[in-house]
Structure 1
Amino acid sequence: MNFNFDEEIQFLKKNVRDFVQTEVEEVAMEIEKEDKIPERIIEMSKEMGLFGLSIPEEYGGLGIGMVGKCALYEEIGATHNGYTTLIGAHTGIGTVGIVELGNEEQKKKYLPDLASGKKIGAFALTEPSAGSNASNLKTTAVRKGDKYFLNGTKHYITNATEADVFTVMAVTDSSKGAKGITSFIVEKDFPGFKVGAIEPKMGLKGSQSAEIIMEDCEVPIENVLGEEGQGYVNALKILANGRAGLAARNLGSSQKLLDLSTNYALERQQFGVSIIDHQAVGHMLSEMAVEIEALRSFTYRVAWMVDEGKKVIKEAAMLKLYGSEVYNRVADKAVQVHGGIGYISDFPIERFFRDARIARIYEGTSEIQKNIISGQLKKEYS
């Protein structure tokens, strides 16, 4: 395993770091207050190619592998998590299904606009009755002639208000359980499709989550993604391969919190010395640093496995579990190191603390990751 980045990735990594520090950080508080990412930030992100990170070059993207993508996600994760989520959800679960499972016609039709950011992608699996139990879908798809008609409601859909193209899971054969689920590429302008209520959240301001409602939504048969009945398997693949990217975003946020906390501990004086010289504070910073370094190594190992085409079901679940838990522990310690100022909303620590909490829930809860890991261990040892 060689995690040295080539010149192209090093160049992109520096550009993204500069952009995050000079542009996105400047409007972080504005995003928090307005619950909206400024349009100029989105346009600059498009110009940098950030919406096409993992889309192949022949379709207008940058064609970066998972290791390179994680290197950039680590930089993007160091800023406002609402912005991070907009980019991450689009370049991850919002488009990877079409990249990996789409046929040539689907790729030519959708990927160029998704790569440029002209269109935004989203992933629609979760329903009121199907969260952790993703196979318990109620959304149905019935074929009539050359179309499928979808009926049902999805909720907590990231990028729902911004997205133009949705990867939607629906039941095509209720008698087959999980094997009766099919993936569809659904456009927001298809008849019978609408975006419902925006769901207010504790954190991730600027990243809108909402319901999507399908009432006899007309989807052409050529928009079936992959094979009929393979939707549940497709969903698991999309989620599994995206977990390295999510961990990299958690890594970037955790590193940012360590940087802020260490600098604060050097500057803040109590009892005549910098608080970093107080053992209790020094130990917290040490624990943060150790966990972050372990997460960094684990992230790039799993990313390398993805690029090598290796099976990563267990490792991706382990990484998603560990990355989200590390981010939460680091955020908690960062608040403690900062004391009262860490609890004030005018400063970024409080924002990261709120944003970290969703990491243990979305794209598979910590408990579901443990189920996946134990299930894989059972197979290995049986």
Structure 2
Amino acid sequence: MSRKNIIALVLSASMVLVMFAWQGRYGFNLSDEGFLWYGVQRVMLGEVPVRDFLAYDPGRYYWSAVFMSLWADNGIMSLRAAASIFQFFGLFVGLILVARCTNRPSFIYLLLAAVTLLLWMYPRHKLFDISVSLVLVGALAYFVELPSIKRCFILGICVGLAAVFGRNHGIYAAAGSLGVIAAMQIRGGNGLAGIKPVLIWVTGICIGYLPVLSMAASVDGFASAFWDSIISLIEFRTTNLSLPVPWPWTVPFARVTLSEALRGLLVGMLFIAIPASGILGIVWVLWQNFQKTTVSSTLTASIFLILPYVHFAYSRADVNHLAQGIFPFLIACYAIVGQQLLVVRWVVGVLILAASMLVMLPI
């Protein structure tokens, strides 16, 4: 294992442990965290998500139930510990991406990045969704780094596994993957011409999604309940009650403190900057590939996932959902900054951390 990966591993493990020890025992969101906790307890008693109770996709329930069963504890702290283990993998992948796209990253710089990523890992009952988004950026970057039929298949498996934890993640990952495959075909010279890589990718998706497919085939009543949940989602077109987008010009400057005004302004600017960067980034990457110019694998991967995850942020336009959809954008920022002069890198890195603290600490 390289020095960069070792630093990323140590930082990820230590930061997650510190956060769990510091905040793990505080707070409880009955409506959302309680909803997840109830579902995991039902799974531990033999019930099936979606079929027997209203649920997210099955992955997070079985992940948590496995650890809680091993610990013989169905309490809220065990659930939070299981989620923190999943969080570790997401943070680890995120820090590897930051390390690999940065020229000679120091331990302090990666610590700065780790703190920034951790600040956005909120709320804790959504750590599964947040971590999946980071892992997907890593999977796409792995494919772009050395595009091949084999890596196309592995990418498909990752897309399928993401859908096990949330069908929305599967859709986001599929959209990003198709964009990246198209970009690689435009570049050429990598054996990805024609329909074959797409078929291999789809095969990988089916294999990655086997846990749910096998449940549909073998668990009585699950297939019909799962299909009904999809139809319901299509009919209602959303799983969240929408909120008006907090545009920067809607901040009531005359009625709030300076810090509240700055925070509102920054949140509104992010709701503009993230989709804008996704659109402009895709155009730029496609043009660079058309010109046969090499683009960082991390930057390419993150850019193609920005717009899909904008849907997550806009599905209920508040800071909580912004936090769940911001990670491809954050990784893209680090990928750009990582290639700049040392002074620029540090200044921008500190500014990203300061902005993150201003937005997330008041929550």
Q: TM-score range by the shorter chain?
A: under 0.3
Asked which structure has the greater RCO (Cα within 8 Å, sep 6+), the reply is: 2
Q: Which has the higher strand share?
A: 1
TM-score between both structures, scaled by the size of structure 1: 0.25
TM-score between both structures, scaled by the size of structure 2: 0.26
